[in-house]
Structure 1
Amino acid sequence: MRTGQRNNETHPSGAEPSGAAAADPSTAARLTALLAAFQPGDDALGVSELARRTGLPKTSVHRLSRHLIDHGLLEPDGTALRLGLKLFEIGQLAVRQRGLVDTARPLLADLREATHNTVHLATLEGTEVVYLDVLKGPDAPRLPSRIGGRFPAHATGVGKAILAYSPDDVADTVIAAGLPRISRRTITSPAMLRRQLTKIADEGTAYEREESSIGTVCVASPILNADGQAVAAISVAGWVNRMRTERIAPAVRTAALALSRTVR
């Protein structure tokens, strides 16, 4: 999460302490803020823009970026900076469900080929889903999902599929955190969401109808462990006036059941 303020230990002059202070936890927070300042679609960012986004002094950005460049986490691009390839390598190792992603990829590719729509693999973290894999369909609309991206669970098909097959306290946590409106059709009523989750648990399939973005629909199904609890979910998303969710649902459910056997 991006920080918007300077740390209280910053010197009044704007310079930062050196020496032993370099190992202070605040340094880790500032390094994290600097990397997290990059957003989807960003290529290279200048020092001034990084300072604006993080709230850090330019002198701090210069000093910290040198450390990140030395370790391959940032790369210079003229007078600007871009994320380094080392981050990609670390990110690949950090995916806890790496085996699931590799196993799911052929099934996801088959779904995309059969439907020409976008296929997702996602897991739940806190109140949001994290997309582990996204295969964009040639006929599909532009969607807010991306690999590594997050989205409020209650406004997605994969999120509702996972919540329906999770312990009650997981859904309670999501509801207690609030159900923000993402589009005019987003479910913001706790009672309505609970009713949907009960129906999903009975049928094994979740639907999202223009709840994450107007003009799109989605059908999803959970990937279950040996205890019958969701560890992830897959979905197919497309245009509301083109995609027949009732026709695609059996294929999504079958793929999810096949993947469920790999995690047991």
Structure 2
Amino acid sequence: MRFDPLSTDEFRFEHSYIAFSGAQPDVMVGDVDRWYPYMSVTKPIAAWAVLVAVYKGYLRLDDPAGPPGSTFRHLLAHASGLPPAHGEPIARPGRRRIYSNYGYDVLAHEVQQRIGMNIHDWISRSVFAPLGMDAVECRGSIAYSARGTADSLMRFGLEILNPTCIPAELAEEACTVQFPKIAGITPGYGPSSDNPWGLGLSIRNPDHPHWTGPSFSNRVVGHFGMSGSFIYVDLIARKAGVFLGEKEFCSEHIRLWPALTNEMWQNTVSQ
């Protein structure tokens, strides 16, 4: 295992990152037990909890949820037509990819009605506890309120690689583009005519610039957050990585992440 910072790690603030393909990491830099805000990396964790509810029969992905014509699938994939913040729909469901924190708040409300339980308790019971994510909490919006350690986030990355909370076929659906070929805007990166998302997971479009490096395959899922956090999983290479830090997302992350993620990928041995 490598503990020294990688050569492309030029960040000048406290941060930690882990590159792994199994429970024994290949790269572990910084204090991986320090708590940081996950911000929008909360979303894929919350989405996974929703998929557990689907698996257990509390709801179906294509059940109505959110604005008229929308479903749980639309809400999970940022395709419900709801705006980024609280407000009325600004598009018809399935027509535009509108990255929506509000959509995830609506999702939380809808799921709670189906499971008869507070959404935070459900996330803890269905994801945190079974995965041993014992250094993380989510007490506010399921769009961005989680905070925890890189070690706990790594455990979620391992779940994406080798699903245990949900069947493999449902995990595959989560990692498959929903409502393909629709335009959208990626915060911090701008608009694109093809903005692919799965169920709570961003999907790398190989035809556009991305925060992961050129060594990655064409099947990369993950998420990044405005706290300067990320999780990536290369489904072909079977490699994953997480990053947390004390500086909010900015041009420094945009500039340095591709080279750093590339070196993380290159230093990971597939299992």
What TM-score, normalized to structure 2?
Answer: 0.31
State the structure with more CA Rg.
Answer: 1
Which protein has the bigger helix share?
1
Higher relative contact order (CA 8 A, sep 6+): 2
